[in-house]
Amino acid sequence: MACFTVKHGRAAARPPHCTRMRILTVLTIGSVLLAQDQLPSIKVDVDLVNILTSVRDKKGALIPSLQKEDFTILEDGKAQPIKYFTKETDLPLTIGLLVDVSGSQRNLIDIERSAASQFFREVLRKKDLAFLISFGEENELLQDYTGSARLLTEGLSQLRVSSGVGGIHPGPVPTMGGPRGTVLYDAVYLAANEKLKGEVGRKVIVVITDGVDQGSRMTRNQAIEAAQKSDAVIYSIDYSDPRAYGPFGMGGGGGGEGELRKMSDETGGRVYKVDRRHTLDLVFKELQDEMRSQYSIAFTPTNEVKDGAYRHLEVRLGNKDLKAQARKGYYAIKPEVK
C-alpha cells in the first residue's frame, strides 16, 4: 500500500494525529484499490463554492487590481451570483511542497533544497502554514504543518534519493519487474486527501518533478479529483536532469510535462519550466508573486442538487484582453449523513 512514512525522531514534534498518518493512509488508499471505480467519499458541504483565480494580460503579466464587477462565473454554462469577492494578498495560505527524490533527480536535490528554503523564508507570513513531502519509491512526510521557515529548512536538509530503479543512470524508465520509482500521483493524492481536505482558506500543492510517474497506486485522474475535492490548486515545477536518462540525455530527460499540465490546468494552477535561462530560484519568485496576486471568489450554486456530480466552471472577464486562470470544475458532494 502507498502511504506516508515519518522521519524517525521527528514525529514527537508534530501534532498527535500525524503519528497515525500511515494507518489512515493505508485505509484510505485501500478502499480505492478495492473499488477502482469509486473514490472515497469526501464529505464537504458545497453550499458555497470557492474559486481561486489569477488574471494575466496578453503579455503574461499578473493583473492584481480588478473588482468584483469585472468577473462572471458560469457553472455548467449558467451565470452564478457572486456572494464573496476578495483579493488574496493578505489571506492565510497553506502550502504543501512535494519534492521528487527519485533517481533521476539526484543531481538536482541540492539546488531544490536551497531554492525551496529561500522560497519558504520569503513567502510565509503570519498565519501561513506549510508541510513538506518527498516522494520517490515511497512518500515521506519530512515536516508537518508549521509556520517556521527554520523547521521547513531542517526538513529540506533530509531530502535523500529514494529510487527503486538501479543501474548507472537510474531514471524513471520502467524495467521488466516494474519497480516503484516515482510515486508522483500517490504523493499528490495523499497531500490533497490526507493533509489539505480538512483545511480552510487557500490551499496550494507545489510539486517539483520531471513529471514522470512510475509505480503509483493512484492514477493521474484520481490525483486531480482529490485535489479538486479538497479545493487545492496544483502548481507544477517541471525540473529534469537530461544526464539522468542515459548517455547524452537519451530518452529526452523528463517527458512528463503534459501530465503536469493536465493536473495544474484542471485545478487552476500552472506549469513552470526550469531551464538554463529560467532557474528554479526565478520560478519560485514568480510562484510567490502569483500566490500574492490571486482573487478569491465564492458563490452559492443555483443548482442546489448535491448528487456528487462534476460541475464545470468557467471564469469570464469583462476585458477580453485579459485571461483568468482558475479550476475547471468541482464535485457537488452530498452532505454527510449524521
User: What are 144-178's pLDDT values in tens digits?
Assistant: 999 999 999 999 999 999 875 443 333 333 333 44
Number of domains in the chain: 2
Q: Please report the beta strands in the chain, taking only residues with DSSP state E, as ranges in sequence order.
A: 4-6, 49-56, 71-75, 78-80, 82-87, 93-100, 129-135, 139-146, 202-209, 232-238, 271-273, 295-299, 310-317, 323-325, 329-331
Residues 141 and 181 in one domain: yes
Residues 79 and 94 in one domain: no
> DSSP string covering 130-155, please?
EEEEEESSSEEEEEEEES-HHHHHHH
Q: Render pLDDT for 136-145 as a digit per residue (tens, 0 to 9).
A: 999 999 999 9
Residues 313 and 255 in one domain: no
Q: Render pLDDT for 196-247 as a digit per residue (tens, 0 to 9).
A: 998 888 999 999 999 999 999 999 999 999 999 999 999 999 999 877 765 5
Q: Is residue 44 part of a domain?
A: no
Residues 276 and 306 in one domain: no
Q: How confident is the model at residue 331 (pLDDT cuts 50, 70, 90)?
A: very high
- Here the CATH number for the domain that contains residue 280 is 3.40.50.410
Residues 125 and 259 in one domain: yes
Q: Render pLDDT for 25-77 as a digit per residue (tens, 0 to 9).
A: 443 444 444 444 443 333 344 488 999 999 999 999 999 999 999 999 999 99
* Grid cell of 14 as nine digits: 508534530
Please report, for residues 16, 206, 240, 306, 326, the alpha-carbon distance to residue 79 in angstroms, rounded to integers and kept in the order given: 44, 31, 42, 18, 16
pLDDT value of position 47: 81
Residues 164 and 96 in one domain: yes
Whole-structure pTM value: 0.82
Find the Cα–Cα–Cα–Cα dihedral 210, 211, 214, 215, rounded to 10°.
Answer: 130
Q: What is the mean pLDDT of the chain?
A: 82
**Residue 240: CB partners within 8 Å, gap ≥ 6?**
104, 105, 210, 211, 253, 254, 255
96-127 per-residue burial string, b: 16 or more CB within 10 A, e: under 16: bbbbbbbbbbbebbebbbebbbbbbeebbeee
Q: Is residue 111 part of a domain?
A: yes
User: What residue type is 144 in one-letter code?
Assistant: D
Tell me how far apart the alpha carbons of residues 169 and 173 are, in angstroms, rounded to a whole number. Answer: 10
pLDDT value of position 166: 42
Q: Is residue 338 part of a domain?
A: no
Residues 99 and 57 in one domain: no
Which range has the worst mean pLDDT, 30-39, 126-135, 153-162, 267-276? 30-39
Q: Render pLDDT for 277-299 as a digit per residue (tens, 0 to 9).
A: 999 999 999 999 998 899 999 99
pLDDT value of position 299: 96
Domain containing residue 65? 49-89+294-331
Partnered with residue 317 across adjacent β-strands are 71
Q: Render pLDDT for 3-12 as a digit per residue (tens, 0 to 9).
A: 767 664 343 3
Residues 151 and 278 in one domain: yes
